[in-house]
Every structure is written in C-alpha cells, then in structure tokens.
Amino acid sequence: MDINLAFFVELFFHVLGMWWVIVPSILLGLVVGAIPGFSAANTIIILLPLTFLMDVEVGLVFMIALYCSSRLGAGIPAILVNIPGTAGAAATPLDGYPMAKQGLGQRALSISFVSSIIGGVLTTVLALVTMPWLARVGFYMHSVEMIVVMLFGISLIASVAAKDMIKGLIAGFFGLMIGSIGADHVYATPRGTMGFLELYDGVPLIPALVGLFAISEAFLVIEKGTFLSKTNVQNVDNASWKETIIGVRITLKRWYHITWTSMIGLIIGVIPGAGAAIASFVAYQQSRTFSKTPEAYGTGHYEGLIAPEAANNGVTAGTLIPLMVLGIPGGATAAIMMVVMQYQGVPTGPRLFTERPELGYGVFMAMLVTYLLMAFTILPMSRYMSRVTMVSTTYMSPIIIAFTLVGSFVPREYMFDMYLAFAFGIIGYIARKTGYHVAAILIGVILGPLLEQYMLRALKMSDGDPMVLFSSSLGNMLWAALVITLILPAFFKRRRQSKAVE
C-alpha cells in the first residue's frame, strides 16, 4: 500500500465516517475527565469487555476519543472549582481558577478548550509526519536526562514561591518529604509509613491531589460562604456568547505560545512513564520563565492557562508513538490499547505499519478527527458550564467533598484513601490560611518520588559516582538549559527595572 497524501485524505474521511462512535465517546470522556479520580485508563478498563466485542478499528477509535476528551475534560473542574480532574491538570488551576473567581469562568474555559484542541491537532499532525524520529527520543532519554527533566518541573516551586520565597520553599520541601513516604527503591524498607500497609507503595496521587486542592478549597468556601463576590456573580449572569468568542480570539492571538508548549508535551509524552503531570509543570515553568510579565502568573494570566493545557494535550499523541512504532506502551491508556490489539491479533511495532498501515496511521487520524469534532461539541458548552460557580455553596461544597472522596476511593478501592484525602484537605486548608502555596506541596508529592527513582537508578549504574549526572552529552545540554532558565528571570527582572529607571 502506498503511503501518500491520497492515503491520508482517504483515511481522514474514513475515520470521520465513524462520528457515531467518536461523539458519544467525547461526551463520556468529558464526564470522566471532570470527575476527580476517574481517568480514561480506569474507564476503559471498566468497559474492556465491550471493546473486546467491537471490531478492532472501532474499539481503537472509541478508546482514542475517550482518551483525548477526558484529558480536555480534566481542566473543567480545575478552572471552575479548583479541582484538577487528573494529575495532568494540576497546573491548570494556578491561573484558571483565579479567572473563574473574577467572574471570567466562561472566558477561561474557552481559552482552555481552544488551546487544548489546537495543541492536540498540532501535535497529532506532527506525530503523523515524524513518528519514526520521535520514537527514538525514548532511546536517548535515560536516567540522567530524566533527572534534569524532573528538575525543570521541581524548579517551578521557586517560581510559585516568588512572592514569599521562604514559605514557598518550605511548602516544596514538605511535599518532597511526603513524596518520600513508602518503601525505598533499593532495599524496600518502609519509610514514614507509620505502620500503614496502604502507604508501602508510596502516597497515592489522587487523594493528595483532590485533598490539597478540592477539599481544602471546599473548606474555604464554606468559611467564606461564596465562590464569587456579588459583582462577579453579576458578571457571570450577564455573560453572553461574546465571552466565548473573546476567549477564542485571545487564544488564537497566542498561537505561537500554544505551538511551543504543546511541543514540550509531545516530546515528554514520547518518553515512557513521564506523563502529562510532568509536561504541564515543565510547560508552565518555561512559559513563566520566558514571559515578559512573570509576576502576572498565578493571578489569572492567559498564558499561564494556555501553557499547561496545550502541553497536557500534546502528551496524548506522544504516549501512543512508542506503542505504535516500537510496541512499548508510553502510559496506562496505551498499555490497555496494547492489550486490546493483542487480543484481536493485531501486531504492534514496525510490523503494524507493514501489515496494517490503515490501523497504525488510523489511530493518530482518529485523534485528529476527535480534536476537530471537540471544537464543535465542547466549545459551545463553555457558556453553560461556567454557571457552576453561581451554585450556592450550601449545595456545592458537600457535593465537591462527596465527589472527591469517591474519586479518591476509585483508583485503589481502599477506604484508607478517602481518609487520606480528608487529611490532605486539612493540610491544604491550614496551608492556605497561613500563606503556604498548596501547588508547591503538590509538585513535591508528584515529582519527588520520580526524581528519587531516576537518581538512584543512575547512581546504581555508576557504582555511586555522582559525576554520572554529567556523563551524557544530551544531559549536559539539558543541565545548561536548566541553568539558563533559572538565571533568565532574574536577568529579565533587572533589565525591566533598569528600563523603568531610564
């Protein structure tokens, strides 16, 4: 079969003809992504018997559409009520929620949707064109290189802590300490578990995520009695379709910002095990570093919302490249897709593109069609979704707490995780009341264990020689880039101050 432009055009219209599968999957994924604790992976696992009964092509299209839409849907509660639906949306509330509190929830949602869709479309097209080369990224990213990538994300703690460096760093180190709880990676000796067997695998991410953000926010809302001030309630009530159009225009004007932050997501997504959480934190940190107004981040800055949303949707194409090209799943959802393909007798890796090229390329074409259809199915909903913030806190706060506790239970099905989420909620509430940033704590909890894992792996391979961290050419380039991104904010700040004096 000739792989040319005509092949891709024909494949596009063939996949578009399966809209009857894609549109319901988009709506299901939207709900799944918006519920904290639920994800495309565990939803597909629940529906796995159904996908086995489907034709393999229909089943793959169904899973792809669910995967993409759930990634986009996770940003909805992150923006409206400060509840990231998944770890990949953990950086979204940093600027999305302040916009919602200002009565600009509809605008924030449209910015999020458009940046997610454009980021997803760009990276999917790029993946279709450059799959063989992108697949090799995973071969060059070893433990040393991953350590530096983790440090890019962890350095966001310093950015978040810009207003009060001491408190920010204390919060970050506290998160790193929590992240170290569990059996150590060398001798499997329990650390800080306090005798709880449920903590031997480490602190589960979802209870920490929903507790620090959602439950602590619900406590604050109960205390204040409202999400929005009377003026902002009026702004939401009077908002028309114009707000959605303004959000679209704001995002399209920043197409270059979407492009390079989604590329960060694509490259990190190709690395097996890296994931959307790392991509969104790194993209946010890089966006803030090279911004002309870094002090505006965290206050409802448009680019602070665009960067993590474009990046975590760029990851979706990246995670599937190792599976399709090499037969190595890049994430949980890709691993489940691999199970379905093997059950149906479909090969993965290089054989797929020689024996069944319409399936190999069709997966990415399904992703492209899904993102295009989401522009027409989800974007118009932003006007109605934003009205969630007007619901009385008498009803909203108990609903938030109930949903988040259920979401904490779902991944591992331990009652312990519900108590843990509540404990993190109390920690988050105390942190907010005393001026400590919960995002800094969460960054430590997410990235700390990963950094330790790669660090120990690198040291083990070098017999404990710390100079192994500087033994790789690519790693040294990343070290130089990290130093530059840490120095540049101070340089830009001094430059702006000197210009102001002149």
pLDDT by residue, tens only, the chain of 502 residues: 567 788 888 989 999 999 999 999 999 988 888 777 677 777 887 787 788 888 888 989 999 999 999 888 888 888 988 888 677 888 899 899 899 888 888 899 999 999 999 999 999 999 888 877 776 676 677 788 888 888 888 877 776 666 677 887 888 888 888 988 888 877 778 888 888 888 888 888 888 888 888 888 888 877 776 666 556 566 666 667 788 899 999 999 999 999 999 999 998 888 876 678 888 988 998 898 888 888 888 889 999 999 999 999 999 888 888 888 877 777 778 888 888 888 888 887 778 888 888 888 888 999 999 999 998 888 888 877 777 766 766 777 787 788 788 878 877 888 999 999 999 999 999 998 888 888 888 888 888 888 888 888 888 888 888 888 888 888 888 899 888 887 877 777 777 777 666 5
Cα–Cα distance, 141 to 281 (Å, whole number): 18
Cβ pair 316, 366 in contact under 8 A: no
Three-state SS sequence of 221-234? HHHHCCCCCHHHHH
Cα(first)–Cα(last) distance of the chain, in Å? 66
**Residue 252 structure tokens:** 């399209």
Cβ pair 213, 442 in contact under 8 A: yes
Cα–Cα distance, 376 to 472 (Å, whole number): 46
**Three-state secondary-structure class, residue 191:** strand
**Residue 39 structure tokens:** 């994800």
Cα–Cα distance, 240 to 242 (Å, whole number): 5
Largest CA distance in the chain: 71
Cα–Cα distance, 287 to 307 (Å, whole number): 6
Cα–Cα distance, 487 to 84 (Å, whole number): 30
**Residue 293 structure tokens:** 């107004």
Cβ pair 408, 210 in contact under 8 A: yes
**Residue 32 structure tokens:** 């799944």
Cβ pair 106, 383 in contact under 8 A: yes
Cα–Cα distance, 448 to 439 (Å, whole number): 13
Cα–Cα distance, 390 to 454 (Å, whole number): 45
Q: Residue 85, Cβ neighbours under 10 Å: how many?
A: 29
Amino acid in the structure at residue 265: G
Our CA dihedral for 297, 389, 168, 311, rounded to 10 degrees, sits at -50
The pLDDT value recorded for residue 238 is 63
Rounded to the nearest 5°, which phi and psi values hold at 373? -70, -30
Cα–Cα distance, 313 to 119 (Å, whole number): 6
Amino acid in the structure at residue 485: T
**Three-state secondary-structure class, residue 111:** helix
**Residue 282 structure tokens:** 């790194």
Cα–Cα distance, 355 to 54 (Å, whole number): 20
